[in-house]
Amino acid sequence: MTDTIAAISTAMGNSGINIIRISGEEAFDIAKKLLHWDDVKIKCVSSHTIHHGYVYDGEERIDEVLVSFFKSPKTYTREDIVEINCHGGSYVTKKILGLAIRTGARIAEPGEFTKRAFLNGRIDLSQAEAVMDVIKAQNDYALKSAEKQLSGGIREKINPVKNQILSDVALIEASLDDPENIPLDEERIKELSGHINDEIAKLEQIIKNFENGKLIKEGIKTVIVGKPNVGKSSFLNYISGSDIAIVTDIPGTTRDAIEENINIGDISLNIVDTAGIRDTDNEIERIGIERAKKHLSEADLVLFVMDSSRELTGEDIEIAELIKGHKCIIILNKTDLDSKINASKLGEKFKLPLIEMSAANRTGLDTLEDKIKEMFFNNEIDLNNEIYISNMRQEAEVRDALESLKLVKKSMDDGMSEDFYTIDLMNAYNSLGTITGDISSEDLVNKIFSDFCMGK
């Protein structure tokens, strides 16, 4: 990595400022040429300082800028870095980037700055992946979880297991290398078995937390269902805090699914508001209802909206049959009106949790948040003591390591010789090493960083 890279690190578009980031051996030299500084001035620049100047194209002044200088190794990439803060117009930003390229840099590939941070040993692979999780976080839980991973939380969980596996392999190998090939005694076998049990328990806990981590990161796919005109659209507008859906008194107004990501407190819901489910001769409405049923089949959570001011009907019963087997909450809406439904009896009838709400009076949202936390997170997300991996690649490697350790356990129970243990132990070790990047292929690294945004 002797070449110098450059990219725009801020979102393109007209704004207050934009930042062009340059990293590599020639970063300071490129900045010197763009700013028309002399050798003495650039050599006197202290690390982690900001300087006022002007960018030139030949003798033509292009823009007034602030330039930040960072000297290796105490930088994001562990290389010299220069960040040019220019005015936020798209044209001037691209022009300065073009000047940096002409002066000796090349355009950075997606994620290449973070890739260099990984390859130069500043962060491990799990931390690199956490960078994008921080950027994409949509709620406080997701941000805190990503920040913990970024600070090395996954490595802290994985390394003790890896180290114990390596110690156990060394013990077995020492026994196998003994000239007399004396097998491990009963006490050592018992000790090894205890280690394997502990490692299995730790990996099982990480996998157990994966589903929560995925829901924290990606949000809970939530489908709103109900018969027409029970207030589904009003309910969606209430919990989202904006007028997303059209609200009328005409049944069947919502013909197609409306999808929106919203936060209720610290929980993200990927909401799908569906067409009211009923028998209809209207072809367009019928297609909308079929799509509603498809979304329903893929839901993590179903919010079954009912109108407390109307008697229970056969359509309600049919919908209740459709949602069987799903995690579901009955939303008894319009509680500001005279009620014709007994809430406690309705909950018992359908054997589902029920929350009384009024979209008109904006009541019941806190109770809904608490119920969702209870259903999905057992009322608590322990971000202080637990790691919630949300990355499917990492989860697959943990599962592979777990299966290898279970094979070791089976070999021990079956009385197999010690050389069988080491094969599976090393497979587990390698799988865990792939999570942090201690063991990685060029293809894997390239695939991970190809998903990054440009300039990060």
In a shared domain, residues 248 and 277: yes
Q: For 358, which DSSP code?
A: B
**Domain assignment of residue 118, yes or no:** no
Of 377, 401, 427, which one is at a domain's C-terminal end? 377
In a shared domain, residues 363 and 425: no
State residue 251's pLDDT score: 45
Report the percentage of the chain scoring pLDDT > 70. Answer: 88
In a shared domain, residues 32 and 170: no
pLDDT tens column, 134-155: 888 887 878 888 888 888 889 9
In a shared domain, residues 247 and 353: yes
* Domain region containing 274: 219-377
In a shared domain, residues 210 and 322: no
pTM over 0.85: no
Q: What's the pLDDT band for 188 if we cut at 50, 70, 90?
A: confident
Of 108, 136, 167, which one is at a domain's C-terminal end? 108
Q: What's the pLDDT band for 376 if we cut at 50, 70, 90?
A: confident
Task: For residues 89-103, give the mean pLDDT.
Answer: 95
The domain spanning residue 77 has which CATH number?
3.30.1360.120
Give yes or no for a contact between 23 and 106, defined as CB atoms under 8 angstroms apart.
no
Q: How many CA atoms lie within 13 A of 443 on its CB side?
A: 0
Q: How far is CA 210 from the centre of its chain?
A: 11
pLDDT tens column, 307-332: 888 888 888 888 888 888 888 999 88
The domain spanning residue 371 has which CATH number?
3.40.50.300
Would you say residue 300 has pLDDT above 60? Answer: yes
Amino acid at 431: S
In a shared domain, residues 267 and 408: no
Helix (H) or strand (E) holding 249: none
Q: For 82, which DSSP code?
A: E
Give yes or no for a contact between 28 and 60, defined as CB atoms under 8 angstroms apart.
no
**Domain assignment of residue 456, yes or no:** no
**Domain assignment of residue 385, yes or no:** no
The domain spanning residue 161 has which CATH number?
1.20.120.430
**Domain assignment of residue 432, yes or no:** yes
Number of domains the chain is built from: 3
